Every structure is written in structure tokens, then in C-alpha cells.
Amino acid sequence: MNSKPETTVYLSVKEYNFNTKELKGLVEASDFQWDFTWSFTKGKLFVNPPLGRALIEDSLLRFLIKKDYQLESGGNYKFTVSSKF
């Protein structure tokens, strides 16, 4: 029986700014690394660099929305996506 493909994603929150209503951080999965900014009142997520962005963007946004009030500046988190990077 084949196991489902999975990748563990590591997320570091660098800044949670309530004045600008943004969360900034770093996300890593496999050999990829992205900086992100989430404008949580507007529901906008910006991920850079664009290389491989499509691999993480949707899963990252779902994680951020789900864990919104549990995330803290300086915190490190991880989650699993159902694909192999």
C-alpha cells in the first residue's frame, strides 16, 4: 500500500503588527524558502520569491486563518501539506 505524499512546512513568525494589521514571517518546506506578509484584515497573502509560490500559497493561507489568534511574534510552528515538494 502506498502512503500519501506529505511535506512538513516550518513557519517562523517574525513580526505581528496590530497597527498595520500584518503578520510577517518565513516559511520553509523541503528545499524551498519564502518570506510572507499576511494582511489579516484584508485577507491578502503576499509570498516571495515567486519560485514555487503556487506550492505553498493556499496551504499557508489556510493555516494562517485557522491558527490566527494562536500565532505570536517570535513563534515557530509546523504543519503538513498533502503533497511532496
Q: Is the pTM of this model over 0.75?
A: yes
pLDDT above 90 coverage of the chain, percent: 84
Confidence of residue 1 (pLDDT cuts 50, 70, 90): low
- The answer to whether position 76 is within a domain reads yes
Q: In this predicted structure, what is the pLDDT of residue 71?
A: 93
- The answer to whether position 1 is within a domain reads no
The one-letter amino acid at 81: V
- Look up the domain containing 75 and give its range: 7-81
Average pLDDT, the chain: 94
Number of domains in the chain: 1
- The answer to whether position 39 is within a domain reads yes
Q: The sheet that has 44-48: what strands, in order across it? A: 44-48, 32-39, 22-29, 7-17, 76-81
- The answer to whether position 77 is within a domain reads yes
- The answer to whether position 21 is within a domain reads yes
- The answer to whether position 31 is within a domain reads yes
Closest CA to 69 of 28, 40, 37: 40
How far is residue 48's CA from residue 72's CA, in Å, rounded to a whole number?
A: 21
Render pLDDT for 26-56 as a digit per residue (tens, 0 to 9). Answer: 999 999 999 999 999 998 999 999 999 999 9
- For 53, the enclosing helix (H) or strand (E) is helix 53-67
Q: In this predicted structure, what is the pLDDT of residue 36?
A: 98
- The answer to whether position 16 is within a domain reads yes
